[in-house]
Amino acid sequence: MSVEFRFVPEVLPMAPRPMSDEWISSWLHRVATANTLSFGELLESVRGGHLPSLDRAMDHALPMAWRTRLATFCRIPESWISAIDLRSHFPNRNLIWFTHPRSFCGDPGEPSLQLSRPFCVHCGEEQKERHGRAYIRAEWPLAFRTHCPRHLSPLIDRCGSCGMITFPSWSAGRFCCQRCRATLQPTHTLLHSPGLSAVIRLQEIIHGGFLGRHPNLRWLGSVSGSEFLRVVFDLIDVLTHRTAQPGLVLADLLVPDEFRRAYNVGGRFQSPQFSALPWFARFLVLAALNQVLLAFPATPGHPPELVVAVERLLNRFFRCLPFEQKAGILKRSETWPAWLRMGFHQAATMVRQRPRRRYAVQWLGTTSGPGPRGSPPVKYTKFTF
């Protein structure tokens, strides 16, 4: 018979305070590190065999019993934990708006489901300089957020070496993977360009919708932030819809040439779910979303060649859908602003034209001349119906 002796103190010796723009996992990771515990060991100690285990991400609507126990254990008011719950940061938004790994292999003691932990290394360096610690900001796990708006750099949502989600760990003057110690760096690089800035600007506008701001009238006309988010949500659903035969995704057709790589959403993911995609795939979907919104804005002035190209590609997409699915998308579009709805209906009812795939794809480009250095050549045939 073996007896396990385990000592868990009533309160933690080291208890770093949460930052106001942080979220629960990020703060608890800092608490664990300060007490030389792993994230899972800290949670097990908090639980102490009394609290129910968590079967969902702990960062959104953490149960009161957990918050109370954590507050005692970490010697802070419970209200401080409530304030950094994602439900407080972003009221009325459920977990589907936050990015999470498709499959998660946590260490012992960790919840079975966790959100990704996207991180800007440049912000992290600034945080270390200003506050003496780095943390993950609450807005970074939002699924539509793929880049830091300040540094225009990708938010690293998993280790490029071991492929796991990780907390940023500072070692030897760099941020590295907590698991394999590889330097944290983005899996894909994108050169700064007007096209990249436009997609990041769109992310800012979507974020504004979360904060209750009205988007610019140019986009969808006079709609509230919530209404804008609803249409964006619908469009993302359509953009990630996979056709049965051939198995293609609309976002891959619409993405501008400058962002095309050997990597495409339809080629990688059998059933793409936006919030579970890695950052680069989510970026491609958002770049395609930007094209749709630019082609069918509420105010005139949109480039006619873009409208023609988007309509033609939409038309090809609709032709690949069974009648019921096509009707379902058009039915959904009835609640969208007029220009957008009319654009989809026009594309769905266009008479079939001779395929001009190459021209259509090239018109979508936001740059002219050769592609960025280091980019693999674009294989258009992959995107041809």
Question: Which parts of this chain interact with Zn ion (CB under 5 A)?
Answer: 120, 122-123, 148, 150-151, 159, 161-162, 177, 179-180, 182
Asked if residue 246 has a cis previous peptide bond (ω within 30° of 0), the answer is yes
Comparing CB distances to Zn ion, the nearer of 87 and 151 is 151
Comparing CB distances to Zn ion, the nearer of 173 and 301 is 173
Q: Is 142 exposed, middle or buried (0-12, 13-18, 19+ CB in 10 A)?
A: buried
Comparing CB distances to Zn ion, the nearer of 120 and 298 is 120
Q: For 16-71, give the DSSP string.
A: PPPPTTB-HHHHHHHHHHHTT--HHHHHHHHHTTTSPPP-S-TTSS--HHHHHHHH
Comparing CB distances to Zn ion, the nearer of 17 and 151 is 151
User: In this structure, what token pair is assigned to residue 107?
Assistant: 């260490």
User: In this structure, what token pair is assigned to residue 9?
Assistant: 């103190």
Comparing CB distances to Zn ion, the nearer of 167 and 383 is 167
Least distance to Zn ion from the beta carbon of 164, Å?
6
For residue 4, give the 3-state DSSP assignment: coil
Least distance to Zn ion from the beta carbon of 21, Å?
13
The CB-side HSE value for 106 (13 A sphere, CA atoms) comes to 20
Comparing CB distances to Zn ion, the nearer of 67 and 179 is 179
Least distance to Zn ion from the beta carbon of 147, Å?
9
Residues 6+ apart with CB under 8 A from 178: 166, 167, 168, 169
User: In this structure, what token pair is assigned to residue 321?
Assistant: 């859908």
Least distance to Zn ion from the beta carbon of 41, Å?
19
Least distance to Zn ion from the beta carbon of 120, Å?
3
**Residue the block writes with tokens 């492929």:** 163
Least distance to Zn ion from the beta carbon of 161, Å?
5
